[in-house]
Amino acid sequence: MKKLISSTAIIFIFCFVAQTSFAKPVKLDGVTLSDPTAVTLNEVSSWTSNSIGVSDELMKAFLEKESKLLGNIGDALSVIGIGKQVYEDDDWGALTSTTLFVVKNIFSRAFPETMGKANLILVAIDAYVVAVNLVKKYFFIPSMIEGVYKYYKEHREGGVVEFDLNEAETIFNTIVPGPYVNIVVTEMKKQIAKEKYGFNEKGMTTRFKLKVQDEARKLLIAQMEQRYQKERIPEMMKVASDKAKEKRGSYVNKVKDKLEMPIRGVVVDAETSKKIVGAKVGVKERGYAVYTRANGSFYLDVPYRLVKGRSFHIYAVGKEYEGEYSQQITWKETKTPRIRFELNAVVDELDNLRNEHCEKVGIVGLMTKEACLTQVMAAEKVGCKRDGLSEEECKKNLIELYKALKKLEKEIGEQYLEKRGIFSEVFEKP
């Protein structure tokens, strides 16, 4: 159908009614649309967040930045909600003429491309709106005869592609003729002349009679077209709604592609609270990480697709710090997660053994711990250099020594130490 109602015809017959909307809320997937013709940010956010399992707060912040996606999803929900009211609930009371023009605009945005049968809904809405307003204008005309409509419908579905109310004569002669037509038109002419112009048939000129006859034929066509489109629109709204569901799915996939969870935080030394520079912070088992800045802070935006929409762990590790620290994050977070990682510095085994030994030396009063450590480390350096040991070999031997000293506390003495050669200087008696 290429052309259903001309712009001049609309100007001629259109009579605006008070603006109304769908007063009846529509529930879609657990989310209530208070007015399908005016879906809000909160409603789009609630529906989308429920669909992919994230918090409403996160989704709202995302959609506020992604205005195009917000509009696309909103239009899709509108089409589905409107369609549901019409083809499921059969709620034609909400479909006022003005509302249908709003509906048409929404459908036009939702389906800018040619979409086959579903695209006919736009044409059907135009036809219905024009027809219903003309009929409203002449509300005093009695209901048309069923036989006339039956004949009209048969011929209307026969493939009439050009349909213009300005061509009333042609249309009338093409698809209107049938039983009772003359009776109906005659009655319409009488009432139009009387109610609209205050004339009776005897007081009308030939020219005026032709004018009234043209109006009567247009009115009859409008009545039939109104009924015809009213029967078709629910079916086409179902088609459009199904198409909108497909497009809604593609929009949700775009959300999944673009959505990120912002993670913010800092990494510090557990003992000193000193900010750690260059610590690695990332998503566990995903190979996705950043490094802390000069102030120990990190910023990590985790893609929804990276973790397949599931909960995940953020970890932190640092050089010269032991262990891996992690915290679980879910997509239901209502605020930007802010994590403070406190890392424990690695304590060298040799340092531990060295400290342990010098504590014992201090206890027996031979010297202070600090003095002991100074002498021990100096002697270690001299001894290892003298014996030509590598750093690794030296450390290995030292650890062996201190472990032996620990096990043989009662036997520790000059004789044992002298056998170790490189450490005899450290433990000489004053």
Res 189: pLDDT: 81
Residue 310: band (very low, low, confident or very high) from pLDDT cuts 50, 70, 90: very high
Arithmetic mean of pLDDT, 47-67:
96
Strand order through the sheet with 288-291: 288-291, 280-283, 312-317, 325-329
Phi, psi (rounded to 5 degrees) for 317:
-135, 155
Counting DSSP H helices and E strands in the chain, the numbers are: 15, 10
Res 313: pLDDT: 97
Angle in degrees, 0-180, between the axes of helices 206-258 and 41-52, rounded to the nearest 10: 50
Tokens 């990332």 sit on residue: 282
Res 13: pLDDT: 23
Res 67: pLDDT: 94
Residue bearing the bigger pLDDT, 113 or 37: 37
Under 8 Å CB-to-CB from 107, ≥6 apart: which residues?
79, 121, 122, 125, 240
Phi, psi (rounded to 5 degrees) for 284:
-60, 135
Q: What is the pLDDT of residues 186-220, one digit of tens each?
A: 777 887 887 778 777 677 788 888 888 888 877 77
Res 9: pLDDT: 28
Side chain identity at 196, as an amino acid letter? K
Q: Which of 176, 189, 131, 188 is nearest to 12 (CA)?
A: 131
Res 427: pLDDT: 46
All domains of the chain in start order, with CATH: 7-257 (no CATH), 260-345 (2.60.40.1120), 349-419 (no CATH)
Going through 220-373 in order, the beta strands assigned E by DSSP cover 260-269, 280-283, 288-291, 297-303, 312-317, 321-322, 325-329, 338-345
Going through 94-239 in order, the beta strands assigned E by DSSP cover none
Q: What is the pLDDT of residues 149-187, one digit of tens each?
A: 777 777 777 654 445 556 555 666 666 666 567 777 777
Res 216: pLDDT: 81
Residue bearing the bigger pLDDT, 388 or 316: 316
CA dist list (Å): 25 to 83, 85, 120, 383: 13, 9, 26, 87
Arithmetic mean of pLDDT, 329-354:
90
pTM of the model: 0.66
Does 113 score more than 90 pLDDT? no
| Count, residues in the chain | 430
In the chain, pLDDT over 70 holds for what percent of residues?
72
Phi, psi (rounded to 5 degrees) for 277:
-90, 140
Does 54 score more than 50 pLDDT? yes
Write the Ramachandran bin of 287: left for phi over 0, alpha for psi from -120 to 50, otherwise beta: left
Calculate the dihedral angle through the C-alpha atoms of 316, 318, 323, 327, rounding to the nearest 10 degrees: -10
Written as six digits, the tokens of 246 are 């497909």
Res 167: pLDDT: 57
Q: What is the pLDDT of residues 227-267, one digit of tens each?
A: 777 777 777 788 888 888 999 999 999 999 999 999 999 99
d(CA 113, CA 177): 37
Res 328: pLDDT: 96
Residue 97: band (very low, low, confident or very high) from pLDDT cuts 50, 70, 90: low
Q: What is the pLDDT of residues 59-93, one digit of tens each?
A: 999 999 999 999 999 999 988 988 888 777 666 55
Other CB atoms within a 10 A radius of the CB of residue 122 amount to 19
**Mean pLDDT estimate for the chain:** 78
Written as six digits, the tokens of 31 are 């989310």
Res 406: pLDDT: 76
Residue 394: band (very low, low, confident or very high) from pLDDT cuts 50, 70, 90: confident
